[in-house]
Amino acid sequence: MKNIRSLFPIFKEYPNLVYLDSASTTQKPHSVIDAELAFYQKQNANVHRGIYPLAAKATQAYEATREKVKQFLNTPSVKEVIFTSGTTDSVNLVASTFALDRVGEGDEVVISAMEHHANLIPWQQVCLQKGGKLVVVPFDTEGVLSLADFEKAITDRTKLVAVTHVSNTLGTVNPIADMIKIAHSKNVPVFVDAAQSVASHVLDVQALDVDFLAFSGHKLFGPTGVGVLYGKEKWLNSMRPHRFGGEMIRDVTFKRTLFAPIPQKFEAGTPNIAGVVGLGAAIDFVESVGQTVIKKHVDELLKYATNALKNIEGLDIIGQAKEKSGIISFILRGAHPHDVATILGQQEVCIRAGHHCTQPIMDFYELPATVRVSLSVYNDFDDIDKLIKGLKKVQAIFA
Contacts of 177 (CB under 8 A, 6+ apart): 207, 208
Residue-level length of the chain: 399
Whether residue 357 lies in the annotated active site: yes
CB of 168 or CB of 320, closer to ligand PLP: 168
CB of 120 to ligand PLP, least distance (A): 9
What is the closest distance, in whole angstroms, from the C-beta atom of residue 395 to ligand PLP in the complex? 28
Q: Beta strand 133-137 with 108-112: parallel, antiparallel or unpaired?
A: parallel
Position 226: which residue type? V
Measured distance CA(128)–CA(116) in Å, rounded: 19
DSSP character for 170?
T
**Cβ 249 to ligand PLP shortest distance, Å:** 27
Shorter beta-carbon distance to ligand PLP: residue 25 or 31: 25
Q: Which of 10, 293, 312, 357 is catalytic?
A: 357
List of residues 6+ apart from 277 with CB closer than 8 A: 35, 36, 39, 43, 61, 62, 65
Beta strand spans in 152-237 (E): 158-164, 190-193, 212-216, 227-231
What is the rounded distance in angstroms from the CA atom of residue 216 to the CA atom of residue 162?
16
Closer residue to ligand PLP, CB minimum distance, 5 or 221: 221
Residue 143 one-letter amino acid: G
Query: What's the closest the beta carbon of residue 117 comes to ligand PLP, in angstroms?
Result: 8
Longest dimension (CA), the chain: 73
Q: Which residues pair with 374 in a beta bridge?
A: 21, 327
CA distance 224 to 217: 6
- Among the listed residues 97, 99, 96, 68, the one whose alpha carbon sits nearest the alpha carbon of residue 81: 68
**Nearest distance in Å: CB 203, ligand PLP:** 14
* C-beta closer to ligand PLP: residue 74 or 224: 224
Estimate to the nearest angstrom the gap between the alpha carbon of 398 and the chain centroid.
35
Nearer to ligand PLP, 91 or 127 (CB): 91
Residues that bind ligand PLP (CB under 6 A): 86-88, 116, 118-119, 164, 168, 193, 195-196, 216
What residues are labeled active site? 357
